[in-house]
Chain A
Amino acid sequence: MRAKLTLSKKYSLWFSVMSLAILILVMLSVFAVLWKGADTLRYTLRDATREAFENTQQTTIHNLSEYVRLQLAPLLYQTDVEKINKLIRNLGKGMPISSFRVADAAGKVLTDGTKENRSFGMALPFSEQTLKTDSVLIEKTKEGFRATFWIGIEGSTIGYGEIIFSGEPLQKAIVQAENAVVSIWQGYTKKFLTITLIGVLGIALLTIVLSIVISRTYALPLMKLRDATTKIALGNLQYRVEVSSDDEIGELAGSFNKMVEELQKRTEELEETNEALQGEIQERTLMGKALAVEKERLAVTLHSIGDGVITTDMEGRVMLMNPVAERLTGFLWREASEKPIGDIFRIYSEETNEPTADPVSIVLKSGMGIDSPGDTTIVGKSGIRLSIAHSCAPIRDSEGAIIGTVLVCRDITERRRLEKELLKAHKLESVGILAGGIAHDFNNLLTGIMGNISLAKLYTTEESDTYEWLEEAEKATLRATDLTRQLLTFSKGGAPVKKTVSIRELIMDSCRFVLRGSNVKCEFSLSPELWSTDADQGQINQVLQNLIINADQAMLEGGAITLSAENIVVGPESGLPLKAGKYVKLRIKDEGVGISKEHLPKIFDPYFTTKEKGEGLGLATTYSIIKNHHGHISVESAMGVGTTFTLYLPASEEAASRARNTGGEVFSGKGNILVMDDDPTIQALARAMLNKLGYDAVVASNGDEAIALFRSAWESDRPFDAVLMDLTIPGGMGGKEAIKHLISINRQVKAIVSSGYSHDPIMANYQDYGFSGVAAKPYTIESLSSEIHTVLEHPAS
């Protein structure tokens, strides 16, 4: 806050300022006159010093030049340039000489004293005076002074000399002299200023003291009156001003005291009235606060309720809405306030999509509450449709009369969606079970067909037409086998039946197979030393085909799909959701339309598709297969650029050469084999194949029969060397149960599990159940012979 100036202080200040201003003006005028005089003196001294120095310098130069001229004459006459140079150099050590040139009689420079002698041959400029006399001519130049002189002996010219004297030392001397003058001048100025300052301060102090004394004499009574006013204003109405004179100020003090008395009386009356009013105000304030608390509690409750709440009056106009109701209807409370409920709460039947009756009207008419469990759709302000459940009840006053309604509604859209999803999943599960059953039976049939074809091939020669037809039939059967396997994977996503496979061949075969007849071509970039992988050949085929088909369909106008594969070692810090270890990394890159950012996160979701006829299971199955292989799949895509899928599959611990025989080689052998299968066709086929391979075969239709035969043989002198068992026997003991019994008879039993359910976990992890090998149906004579050969060659685990 700014300090208030008293009258006394104002007078003192004004008087002081005026006095000081006059004093400063006088001092400044004196100072200016003195300054001007001192400055003139300073420049006069400087110029005089300069002139004196210059005169001295010129005399020195003249004398020196004269001396040099005499010294140079004999040297120049003898052309002793060496000594001339020495003379020049010696002079340069003691004098401020910038350059020194000696010319011959023609005025051309012979030497400038330097080793380089850059001036040699230059014409030396001379004035007429130098040429004609033997005196030294001194000229003032920018650099300093130039002395030129004639050199000769007995009036005969033998050369000329030129010395340039630097003006720098002269300039330095002048500056030093000038500095000395300035220094003296500054000393005097400082003393003068100090004396002046002390004088000004003394006079100023005297002026202030005088002004204070004078002002206090006249301003003191007024200041007393001001203090009295302040005290009264602060509430001291008892205070009175002392009347000490009978002049105007004394009269003013008397009037002031009368006014204070009147004011004291009025104030006492007002205080009494005020006290009564204060009591009344306090009572009203307490009531208002209680009401506000109640309102606040109600508002918080309404805001906190998870259901939408709308209240109406008797005419069905909206009176109150909470935030949930605002979200469901799309209207803000302030928009909906006092509008008919029908305009805000627009509901339709979920079944018929027809508008349903307004519940508020019904309640107001019937006086009874109603409840809708959830077959209603509400259409919001922006057109968004949500499934809701709602109820409505009348609001009654303390006497039971209806004064409005309360409508409560709840969003059940998510619940509805989950119910539909569940229903869909149940349906698909049923389809899956059906598909799996069909595939199993179909596999048994295919086993019969394929086995017989492979047997037939053994009885024909490769050159014959029959062999070729059988080959074609076998290929068709193999494709049918793949179909059943895909069907099984699609339906249940079963555990993979892993074998050590070369991923290179799978990639190339899949690409060529899918793109046959397409305008899209395949480009391969496969590492030559690509590791093998432990994978279900059929499932990985399915994955590759799914991805290649998608890529093909994304490039309607043709293009190229690039398939690359390389070996990588994933470390613990890789950031990939994979265990550390060796992997084969595959990249399938297309140049198609790409996947939108919106769709990209959903493409692996079941039932998500952008195709008109797609089921949305392809990529979901792909994802499931890769996960079941302990691998990883990721996708990158840009609209208009293309899509790249990246797959990681664990590398096999075994070399590719350890891969089982799929190349058509038939392994013959000897021994006694027990075959267990419920299907007579398979029984006959297996027997024929084994016989053809050189083995003796005994068949059993179920587990009990197989156990009995095995036990009998074990106790005889000709036990079975191996057992081929179907995993499932309808209505009987299957391979899973039977193997336990066989192991109890002979711990070293070599049993091969066979099944059309290639997704079954037992097929994938057969060793965990006591089997030594696996033969997925349908099998060929080659694959069967290979499996038996492998099992018999290796000791049982």
Chain B
Amino acid sequence: MAAMGKARLIYCLIVFSTTFFPVFAGAGNLKIGVISNKPVDMIKNCNPMARYLECRLKGLGITGVKVVVAKDIPEMVQWVKKEVVDIVFETAFATVVMREEAGMIPKLLVWKKGVKQYVTLFFVRNDSPMTNLKDLAGKTLAFESPNSTSAYLIPKAELRLLGLTVIPLEGRARKNAVNYVFAGRDINQTFQVIQKKADAGAFNSNDWDELPEKIKAELKIIHESKPIIRFIASFHPSLSGKLQEALINHLVQMDKEPDGIKALQSASRISKIERLTDEDLKSLDYVKNLMKVIE
């Protein structure tokens, strides 16, 4: 019991510090923002990157680099507005929200686990007569969870863009709508489809690639979304151009130095960081469209 109490106290202190410390942070400190419901782990994982940047930005008047963790997108949007964070690493959806609502500027494309982008795949049983999304009307679709971007938000938006009604399954499936359930995890989605408890499932291409071949053989893909960038680094508009350029240069260089590679791997297994291209920015516009549909 005593150990439990101690752990709770540490957690409270960390949450307290990550929530309020940025507000009172002195000049010369650079803040890296991330969103997570596990702030302790996240700070621990991102600290090597902070130390990496700290060493290299001293010449530009940066005295320290801190990691701050918001619990969700709205909180992060608030921090941006209050200038609590200078650079945020987030998903395409969160990035679009921060750009539209708080003026964050997407600058860098972040490769995670060796992947730059993903697509959302809709799949059905191999013996199913369904061939496209419109066939899903009146059927049951297994999503992963309400927090999932690739296995809930995007597929839901794709269906709505086609004019389909997407509603949760309540009792029997309604004929004129796509009736969805949450399976909890991507693997459960596949088994629900195989076991005929759902007619279709949807999740991202990376999860599909990791499925065992025997299970893949039981399924077939009927639709795939446009590619969506996996992770993006955005800068606060108040950051000076000189500091922005220095940050870009150091972050882009990280995967070429041994301590940089270690820091990237620690921070959610980032493979490398690149400058955003015009094509990448177009991809963000596509996400923006999807978000409009969801709203």
Residues of A near any B CB (own CB < 8 A) = 79-82, 85, 104, 110-111, 115-118, 120-121
With A80-B184, A82-B188 given, is the CB distance from A104 to B214 under 8 Å?
A: no
Determine whether B195 belongs to the interface, using a CB cutoff of 8 Å to chain A: yes
| Residue of A80, A110, A111 ringed by the most chain B CB atoms within 10 A | A80
Determine whether B281 belongs to the interface, using a CB cutoff of 8 Å to chain A: no
Cβ-neighbour of A120 out of B183, B192, B215 (below 8 A): B215
A/B interface sample: 8 pairs, CB < 8 A: A79-B188, A79-B197, A80-B184, A104-B195, A115-B210, A116-B212, A117-B212, A120-B214
Cβ-neighbour of B187 out of A81, A104, A118, A121 (below 8 A): A81
Q: Are A121 and B214 in contact (CB under 8 A)?
A: yes
Residues of B within 8 A of A82 (CB): 184-185, 187-188
Residues of B within 8 A of A79 (CB): 183, 188, 191-192, 195, 197
For the complex, what is the distance from the CA of A82 to the CA of B192, rounded to whole Å? Answer: 12
Nearest-neighbor residue (CB-CB) of A122 within chain B:
B214
Residues of A within 8 A of B215 (CB): 117, 120
Residues of A within 8 A of B191 (CB): 79, 81, 110-111
For the complex, what is the distance from the CA of A172 to the CA of B188, rounded to whole Å? Answer: 39
Residues of B within 8 A of A81 (CB): 185, 187-188, 191
Q: How far is the CB of A161 from chain B (nearest CB, A)?
A: 16
Residues of A within 8 A of B188 (CB): 79-82
For the complex, what is the distance from the CA of A37 to the CA of B192, rounded to whole Å? Answer: 65
Residues of A within 8 A of B183 (CB): 79-80
For the complex, what is the distance from the CA of A627 to the CA of B212, rounded to whole Å? Answer: 90
Q: Are A121 and B218 in contact (CB under 8 A)?
A: yes
Residues of A within 8 A of B184 (CB): 80, 82
Residues of B within 8 A of A115 (CB): 210, 212
Nearest-neighbor residue (CB-CB) of A104 within chain B:
B195
For the complex, what is the distance from the CA of A81 to the CA of B184, rounded to whole Å? Answer: 10
Residues of B within 8 A of A104 (CB): 195
For the complex, what is the distance from the CA of A62 to the CA of B212, rounded to whole Å? Answer: 32
Q: How far is the CB of B140 from chain A (nearest CB, A)?
A: 12
B27-85 interface (Cβ within 8 A of A) = none
Residues of A within 8 A of B212 (CB): 115-118, 120
For the complex, what is the distance from the CA of A115 to the CA of B214, rounded to whole Å? Answer: 12
Interface size on B, residues (CB 8 A): 14
Q: How far is the CB of A558 from chain B (nearest CB, A)?
A: 75
For the complex, what is the distance from the CA of A81 to the CA of B201, rounded to whole Å? Answer: 15
Q: How far is the CB of B38 from chain A (nearest CB, A)?
A: 19
For the complex, what is the distance from the CA of A120 to the CA of B215, rounded to whole Å? Answer: 7
Nearest-neighbor residue (CB-CB) of A117 within chain B:
B212
- B214-242 interface code vs A (CB 8 A; 1 in, 0 out): 11001000000000000000000000000
For the complex, what is the distance from the CA of A110 to the CA of B195, rounded to whole Å? Answer: 9
Nearest-neighbor residue (CB-CB) of B142 within chain A:
A79
For the complex, what is the distance from the CA of A104 to the CA of B197, rounded to whole Å? Answer: 13
> What are the 10 tightest A-B residue pairs by CB atom distance, in nearest-first order?
A82-B185, A120-B214, A117-B212, A81-B191, A79-B191, A79-B192, A79-B195, A81-B187, A82-B187, A79-B197
- Further contacts, 15 of them, CB under 8 A, given A82-B184, A117-B212: A79-B188, A79-B197, A80-B188, A81-B188, A82-B187, A82-B188, A85-B187, A110-B191, A110-B195, A111-B191, A117-B214, A117-B215, A120-B214, A120-B215, A121-B218
Residues of B within 8 A of A116 (CB): 212
Q: How far is the CB of B29 from chain A (nearest CB, A)?
A: 41
B175-213 interface (Cβ within 8 A of A) = 183-185, 187-188, 191-192, 195, 197, 210, 212
Residues of B near any A CB (own CB < 8 A) = 183-185, 187-188, 191-192, 195, 197, 210, 212, 214-215, 218
Q: How far is the CB of B212 from chain A (nearest CB, A)?
A: 4
Residues of B within 8 A of A121 (CB): 214, 218
For the complex, what is the distance from the CA of A217 to the CA of B187, rounded to whole Å? Answer: 104
Residues of A within 8 A of B195 (CB): 79, 104, 110
Residues of B within 8 A of A118 (CB): 212, 214
Q: How far is the CB of A84 from chain B (nearest CB, A)?
A: 9
For the complex, what is the distance from the CA of A118 to the CA of B214, rounded to whole Å? Answer: 7
For the complex, what is the distance from the CA of A772 to the CA of B214, rounded to whole Å? Answer: 107
Residues of A within 8 A of B192 (CB): 79
Residues of B within 8 A of A80 (CB): 183-184, 188
Q: How far is the CB of A99 from chain B (nearest CB, A)?
A: 16
Q: How far is the CB of B182 from chain A (nearest CB, A)?
A: 11
For the complex, what is the distance from the CA of A120 to the CA of B212, rounded to whole Å? Answer: 9
Q: How far is the CB of B210 from chain A (nearest CB, A)?
A: 8
| Residue of A81, A110, A116 ringed by the most chain B CB atoms within 10 A | A81
| Residue of A79, A110, A117 ringed by the most chain B CB atoms within 10 A | A79
For the complex, what is the distance from the CA of A121 to the CA of B213, rounded to whole Å? Answer: 11
For the complex, what is the distance from the CA of A333 to the CA of B215, rounded to whole Å? Answer: 109
| Residue of B185, B210, B212 ringed by the most chain A CB atoms within 10 A | B212
Residues of B within 8 A of A110 (CB): 191, 195
Q: How far is the CB of A115 from chain B (nearest CB, A)?
A: 7
For the complex, what is the distance from the CA of A120 to the CA of B214, rounded to whole Å? Answer: 7
Q: How far is the CB of A738 from chain B (nearest CB, A)?
A: 95
For the complex, what is the distance from the CA of A117 to the CA of B212, rounded to whole Å? Answer: 6
For the complex, what is the distance from the CA of A116 to the CA of B185, rounded to whole Å? Answer: 16
For the complex, what is the distance from the CA of A731 to the CA of B197, rounded to whole Å? Answer: 142
Residues of B within 8 A of A111 (CB): 191
For the complex, what is the distance from the CA of A400 to the CA of B71, rounded to whole Å? Answer: 150
For the complex, what is the distance from the CA of A111 to the CA of B214, rounded to whole Å? Answer: 11
Q: How far is the CB of B193 from chain A (nearest CB, A)?
A: 9
Q: How far is the CB of B219 from chain A (nearest CB, A)?
A: 12
For the complex, what is the distance from the CA of A220 to the CA of B223, rounded to whole Å? Answer: 121
Nearest-neighbor residue (CB-CB) of A111 within chain B:
B191
For the complex, what is the distance from the CA of A79 to the CA of B186, rounded to whole Å? Answer: 12
Nearest-neighbor residue (CB-CB) of A119 within chain B:
B214
| Residue of B185, B191, B197 ringed by the most chain A CB atoms within 10 A | B191
For the complex, what is the distance from the CA of A578 to the CA of B185, rounded to whole Å? Answer: 93
Q: How far is the CB of A713 from chain B (nearest CB, A)?
A: 97
For the complex, what is the distance from the CA of A104 to the CA of B196, rounded to whole Å? Answer: 12
For the complex, what is the distance from the CA of A79 to the CA of B212, rounded to whole Å? Answer: 17
Q: How far is the CB of B138 from chain A (nearest CB, A)?
A: 21
Residues of A within 8 A of B214 (CB): 117-118, 120-121
For the complex, what is the distance from the CA of A390 to the CA of B210, rounded to whole Å? Answer: 116
For the complex, what is the distance from the CA of A85 to the CA of B187, rounded to whole Å? Answer: 10
Residues of B within 8 A of A117 (CB): 212, 214-215
| Residue of B185, B210, B214 ringed by the most chain A CB atoms within 10 A | B214
Residues of A within 8 A of B218 (CB): 121
Q: How far is the CB of A192 from chain B (nearest CB, A)?
A: 58
For the complex, what is the distance from the CA of A117 to the CA of B191, rounded to whole Å? Answer: 12
For the complex, what is the distance from the CA of A120 to the CA of B190, rounded to whole Å? Answer: 12
For the complex, what is the distance from the CA of A104 to the CA of B185, rounded to whole Å? Answer: 19
Nearest-neighbor residue (CB-CB) of A85 within chain B:
B187
Nearest-neighbor residue (CB-CB) of A105 within chain B:
B195
Q: How far is the CB of B190 from chain A (nearest CB, A)?
A: 8
Q: How far is the CB of B121 from chain A (nearest CB, A)?
A: 19
Nearest-neighbor residue (CB-CB) of B193 within chain A:
A79
Residues of A within 8 A of B210 (CB): 115
For the complex, what is the distance from the CA of A111 to the CA of B212, rounded to whole Å? Answer: 11
Q: How far is the CB of B188 from chain A (nearest CB, A)?
A: 5
Q: How far is the CB of A393 from chain B (nearest CB, A)?
A: 111
For the complex, what is the distance from the CA of A116 to the CA of B184, rounded to whole Å? Answer: 20
For the complex, what is the distance from the CA of A110 to the CA of B183, rounded to whole Å? Answer: 16
| Residue of A116, A120, A121 ringed by the most chain B CB atoms within 10 A | A120
Q: How far is the CB of A174 from chain B (nearest CB, A)?
A: 38
For the complex, what is the distance from the CA of A298 to the CA of B60, rounded to whole Å? Answer: 120
Residues of B within 8 A of A120 (CB): 212, 214-215
For the complex, what is the distance from the CA of A85 to the CA of B212, rounded to whole Å? Answer: 14
For the complex, what is the distance from the CA of A218 to the CA of B218, rounded to whole Å? Answer: 107
For the complex, what is the distance from the CA of A292 to the CA of B184, rounded to whole Å? Answer: 125
For the complex, what is the distance from the CA of A82 to the CA of B185, rounded to whole Å? Answer: 7
| Residue of A82, A104, A116, A118 ringed by the most chain B CB atoms within 10 A | A82
Q: How far is the CB of A344 from chain B (nearest CB, A)?
A: 103
Nearest-neighbor residue (CB-CB) of B194 within chain A:
A110
Q: How far is the CB of B26 from chain A (nearest CB, A)?
A: 46
For the complex, what is the distance from the CA of A116 to the CA of B191, rounded to whole Å? Answer: 14
Nearest-neighbor residue (CB-CB) of A159 within chain B:
B195
